[in-house]
Amino acid sequence: MTILTKTQARQFILAKQGLLGSYRFSRKDGAYAYIRQAGCIQYDPVDVCGKNAELTLQSRVEGFRKTMLEDLLYRDRLLVDYVDKELSIWPTEDWPYFYPFRERSRIHGEGFPGLAGLEREALAYIRSNGPVSGDTLPIGGEIFWHSSMHWSGNWHKKSKAARSVLEQLYTDGTLIIHHKNGSRKFYDLAERYLDPALLEAAPPYEDENELLGWRVLRRIGAVGLLWDKNSPALLGINIKADRRRQVLSALETSGAILPIQIDGIKTLFYYRCEDDPLMQDVIRERLDRKPRMEFLAPLDPMLWDKAMIAALWGFRYSWEIYTPADKRKYGYYTLPILWGEQLIGRIETVADGKNHILRVKNIWFEPGVSPAADIREQLCGTLNRFSEFNGCTSVEGIPDDPL
């Protein structure tokens, strides 16, 4: 079995992610191509300097603008918002694979008294009036309800009826998100926007084992390399150690994945067979290794398994958004800084949309990283690009002596 050095493993992951060398992804078509490669990217509504999905794309898609993701979701309908790895964005073409999620939601919804009648009322209104949000649907009162698949509703008290019925119909697959106004979701009938053949397609797998294999293979492709551990990269897939090993073995036997060892790490890693030409380029030193500086999203697919990142890069990243301020080591919304093949630090910025200023609150470099002239030059250029991505015209607050 081939044994990679950690340097080679890092190069492979970065090249797979489109974060090393010249940009592989460009503009709207590139954004769509990357999401198809990753399978899904995580959605989070917090917008300090861009939402997580937007931040994921700006780091590897040349010329990316936030409106491009909106177009792919709500104009082109090539992407949908739905559950996968928590709340996610994934290609519409994968709709048939998520049949079990929708079926589970429908069965779950049958357990809430009065919900079926509200569903009929909501659907009749939407058919006559078009897209609605929880604030514009004329259904009052509260009901006992909570979602079957994400943190919406309440388990021990009532929730607003209008929002509850819309969320239920959304997880059923009857409604899709028509558009968003900030973080407020507007829903409309899925049948108005998605191909009937797609909506009526039979599940494209024979049994649960095949579906599980598809989901695990997808996550391996999202990261590039994944080890045989209880990885957060598999979040949302209900799989324990013995079952995971069975799935990995079946995928290897079928020729979908290849095993590989990394020097100094006992655990076996896997990558997709379709990525073997890239692996051979890494081993034979044929990669385009032109260094770039990028700011990575907190929930970037490359960072899904933080323990693996620590093992390969020696970089320990924690998203401290939910950490009390007095217990944070860094900042509320820090982004890892990638320079070439190394994660060299963190940056905290805030986009002041009113004044069109990107404010740099702080920069923390890793121990042993000296902010020499080349790093400072790259940092200024990257901040200018990041400022433009956030609709800002200037950058303020670059510290003279970063921490």
CA distance 23 to 39: 19
The DSSP string of 332-354 is TTEEEEEETTEEEEEEEEEEETT
pLDDT category at 400 given cuts 50, 70, 90 is: low
Which is it for strands 394-396 and 357-365: parallel, antiparallel or unpaired? parallel
- pLDDT bin (cut points 50, 70, 90) of residue 373 is confident
pLDDT band at 3 (very low <50, low <70, confident <90, very high): very high
In this model, does residue 402 exceed pLDDT 70?
Answer: no
Confirm if 139 and 162 have CB atoms less than 8 A apart.
Answer: yes
pLDDT(357) > 90: yes
When pLDDT is cut at 50, 70 and 90, the band that residue 370 belongs to is confident
pTM score = 0.96
Write down how long the chain is.
403
Tens of pLDDT, residue by residue over 225-282, are: 999 999 999 999 989 999 999 999 999 999 999 999 999 999 999 999 999 999 999 9
3-state class (DSSP) for residue 145: coil
**What are the helix and strand counts (H, E) for the chain?**
13, 18
CB atoms within 10 A of CB 133: 17
Query: At how many degrees (to 10) do helices 27-38 and 208-223 cross?
Result: 130
Closest Cα partner for 198 from 77, 106, 95?
A: 95
- Whether the CB-CB separation of 58 and 94 falls below 8 Å is answered with no
Q: Quick one: pLDDT band at residue 149, thresholds 50, 70, 90?
A: confident
Query: Position 74: which residue type?
Result: Y
- Beta strands 265-272; 394-396: pairing state: unpaired
Write down the pLDDT at residue 399: 65
Please check the confidence at residue 83 and state whether its pLDDT lies above 60. yes
What are φ and ψ of residue 316, in 5° steps? -110, 110
Does residue 122 contact residue 139 with C-beta atoms inside 8 Å? yes
Residue 371 pLDDT level (bands cut at 50, 70, 90): confident
Distance between CA atoms of 262 and 224, rounded to whole angstroms? 14
DSSP 293-340: EEEPPTT-GGGS-HHHHHHHH------GGGS-GGG-SS-TTEEEEEET
Domain boundaries, the chain: 3-92+207-396, 110-193
**pLDDT greater at residue 350 or residue 150:** 350
What's the confidence (pLDDT) of residue 34?
98
List C-alpha distances in Å: 138 to 123, 154, 382: 12, 21, 47
Q: For 22-75, what is each residue's pLDDT tens digit? A: 999 999 999 999 999 999 999 999 999 999 999 999 999 999 999 999 999 999
Phi, psi of 14 (to 5 degrees): -65, -40
